Amino acid sequence: MLKVNDLNVYYGGIHAIKGISLEVEEGQIVTLIGANGAGKTTILRTISGLNKAKSGTIAFKNTEIQSMAAQNIMAMGISQVPEGRRIFSAMTVLENLQLGAYLRKDKAGIKKDMERVFDKFPRLLERIKQQAGTLSGGEQQMLAMGRALMARPKLLLLDEPSMGLAPLLVQAIFSTIKELNQEGTTILLVEQNAHMALSIAHQAYVLETGRIVLSGDAKELACSPEISEAYLGGSVGH
């Protein structure tokens, strides 16, 4: 579904992404893990058209998208839930969700997807008229995910969905990610919590300073001593 080939991205004079290639098959959850500053967010932002690549290609369903505008990429079926949620805090929960569907014209489909979001996140229905800025961190994360789902994405890019959340909420968010995937949404997940990410992903790529240093089956990587040492605090499988 997504094929990134020899991608190079710069921030000014800094070579942030160094010749990265990765693939996401339809129906998979693929995760990018690595320390802060490894380039994970930059990759997602470049896929969704917010950053421009210096060289390399990004193909979505066999169409190259690296020089397309962000809204055209979104119209093709790629939605991103950004790091730090980025909800519109002065707007209500409902208005935030409606914004997620702003490229769509199918009223019946929008209504159905709105019901699906409330089914996934009942808390949002309870807070439907509330200003988004008054929600808790966990509720804001639900709203950010719900808003992205309103675009009915074929590929969902999730950037640090567990950041700053209480452990119980992290569990809930990850269950939802797994559920969305089982219902047919392909997911590319960037996550600081490597243990959780590897537990739900099919494939994983490990980044260090803008390069992929390891990749493979997520369950196998979760058991590898190198990964365990570097990202899981040395406790494989616990």
pLDDT per position as a tens digit, 38-65: 899 999 999 999 999 999 999 999 999 9
User: Could you give the strand order of the β-sheet that contains 78-81, starting from the edge strand earlier in sequence?
Assistant: 78-81, 155-159, 186-190, 29-34, 203-208, 211-217
Q: With H, G, I as helix, E, B as strand and everything else as coil, classify residue 94.
A: helix
* Residues 93, 121 contacting (CB under 8 angstroms): no
Query: Is the pTM here over 0.85, yes or no?
Result: yes
Residue 41, SS3? helix
Give the integer Cα–Cα distance in Å for 2 and 25: 7
Q: Which of 184, 188, 185, 182 is nearest to 218 (CA)?
A: 188
pLDDT the model gives residue 233: 57
Q: Using an 8 Å Cβ cutoff, are 190 and 203 in contact?
A: no
pLDDT at 33 over 50: yes
CA dihedral 74, 157, 205, 36 (to 10 degrees): 110
Digit-coded pLDDT (tens) for 198-221? 999 999 999 999 999 999 999 999
Rounded CA separation 39/217 (Å)? 21
Domain ranges of the chain: 1-77+155-160+188-238, 79-152
Chain-centroid distance of CA 223 in Å reads 24
State residue 145 phi and psi, 5-degree precision: -70, -40
Cα–Cα distances in angstroms (integers) from residue 149 to residues 71, 83, 120, 153, 155, in the given order: 15, 16, 11, 6, 10
Q: CA 138, CA 42: separation in Å to the nearest integer?
A: 24
Say what percent of the chain tops pLDDT 90. Answer: 75
Residue-wise pLDDT for 159-184, tens only, equals 999 988 888 888 989 999 999 999 99
Please identify, in words, the CATH class of the domain defined by 1-77+155-160+188-238. Answer: alpha beta
Q: What pLDDT shows up at residue 116?
A: 93
Can you spell out the DSSP letters for 106-161? -HHHHHHHHHHHHHH-HHHHHTTTSBGGGS-HHHHHHHHHHHHHTT--SEEEEE-T
**Residue carrying structure tokens 């058209």:** 49
